Amino acid sequence: MNPKLGLVGARGHVGAELIKLVAGHPHFDFAFVSSRELEGQLVADHHPAYRGDLRYIAPAHETLPAFGADAVVLALPNGKAKVCVDAFDAAGLDPVIIDLSADYRFDPAWYYGLPELTRARYQGQRRISNPGCYATAMQLAVAPMLDALDGPVQCFGVSGYSGAGTTPSDKNDPDKLRHNLMPYALTGHVHEREASTQLGHPVEFMPHVAPHFRGLTITANLHLARAFNRDDILARYRERYAAEPLVRVGDEAPWVSHIAGAQHVDVGGFTLSEDGRRLVVVATEDNLLKGAATQALQNLNLAFGFDEFAGIPLETHA
């Protein structure tokens, strides 16, 4: 019998993407999808790729254990996951829980699921914290050079406004963003702390929101302890990600407009200073996919022993 998934927060942008992915998965089925705003409506009416008569429900978080899900994905705003996790603990149940918020990313009891960098640490943990979208791109851009860094890494980031969620704010208001670039949280952003913690090296991050809907780009500025040439840099990145279908290393700087709807991260634009001791790297990803839903599916596949990339379209856009 296929494992049954529960999705809490199905109305949000990431929840919608996960429904599409699970609809095409060879093994997973839904036990429930929850959304207060869509309660009672057919999931198939909102997602034609999903076939079935499942309807959105809006149960109290304390009642989630009663639905018998083998895994539960929490696609909730920061600060909302604990009540759900506590409900399963109180019921004495231990489903796989994937938390897409930042709530457990700094909790050592939870596996931090960025498979390309942390796969070797996965030992059957049932509690999995999904990385942040920006933090994913920053870590993948920096990791191959970790042993050669000299001082903090600076990352300039720009994301589409879907990254600000569905709750109305200046950061997801198309009128305010039109012809604009909106800086925010220029120090201490949660993804700055997340990337710094996971890499074991300080990262300084400056995020901005742009008028487009989806897709993000980060430009990482790396000071190096010794001189490199560009061929050596390219060889490092290509070797590090040669077996990773969701990380593509290219020669040219990737464009954010090309990554929308794609499942992978593009890394490229490798540029060295004249003395070979400063490297600039560009990484782009769809913040809703590899930055969230696609990565959650990788982690679900790992947790249930399936092929890590089952249900993930590797060559085509979503």
Name the residue with higher pLDDT: 145 or 176: 145
Cα–Cα distance, 6 to 81 (Å, whole number): 14
Q: What is the mean pLDDT of residues 22-50?
A: 95
The stretch 152-165 carries a mean pLDDT of 91
Q: How far apart are CA 264 and CA 229, in angstroms?
A: 27
Catalytic member of 102, 133, 195, 300: 133
Residue 206: closest CA among 153, 279, 157, 172: 157
Say how many C-beta atoms besides its own lie within 10 A of residue 29's C-beta: 15
pTM: 0.95
Torsion of CA 241, 101, 149, 140, to 10 degrees: 20
In 3D, which of 204, 200, 224, 83 has the Cα closest to residue 154? 204
What residues have CB less than 8 Å from 185, skipping those under 6 apart? 207
Angle of CA points 312, 104, 154, to nearest 5°: 80
CATH superfamily of 4-131+291-303: NAD(P)-binding Rossmann-like Domain (3.40.50.720)
How would residue 173 be classed by pLDDT, with cut points 50, 70 and 90? confident
Judged against a pLDDT cut of 60, whether residue 293 lies above it is answered with yes
Evaluate if residue 251 carries a pLDDT over 90.
Answer: yes
User: What values do phi and psi take at 38, rounded to 5?
Assistant: -105, 10
CA angle 236, 238, 294 (to 5 degrees): 120
* Rg for the chain, CA atoms, rounded: 20
The tokens describing 50, both together, are 């999903």
State yes or no: is 155 an active-site residue. no
Residue 169 pLDDT > 80, yes or no?
Answer: no
Read off the pLDDT of residues 95-139 as tens digits, 9 standing for 90 and up.
Answer: 999 999 999 999 999 999 999 999 999 999 999 999 999 999 999
Is residue 318's pLDDT more than 50?
Answer: no
In the chain, which residues fall in CATH 3.30.360.10? 133-287
Q: Where exactly does CATH 3.40.50.720 map onto the chain?
A: 4-131+291-303
Query: How far apart, in whole angstroms, are the C-alpha atoms of residue 299 and residue 100?
Result: 11
Report pLDDT for 317: 41
Q: Which CATH number does the domain 133-287 belong to among 3.30.360.10, 3.10.310.50, 3.40.50.300, 3.40.190.10?
A: 3.30.360.10
Q: In the β-sheet with 182-183, what is the strand arrangement from edge to edge?
A: 182-183, 203-209, 153-159, 216-223, 278-285, 265-272, 247-249
pLDDT digits (tens, 9 = 90+) for 177-211: 888 999 999 999 999 999 999 999 999 999 999 99
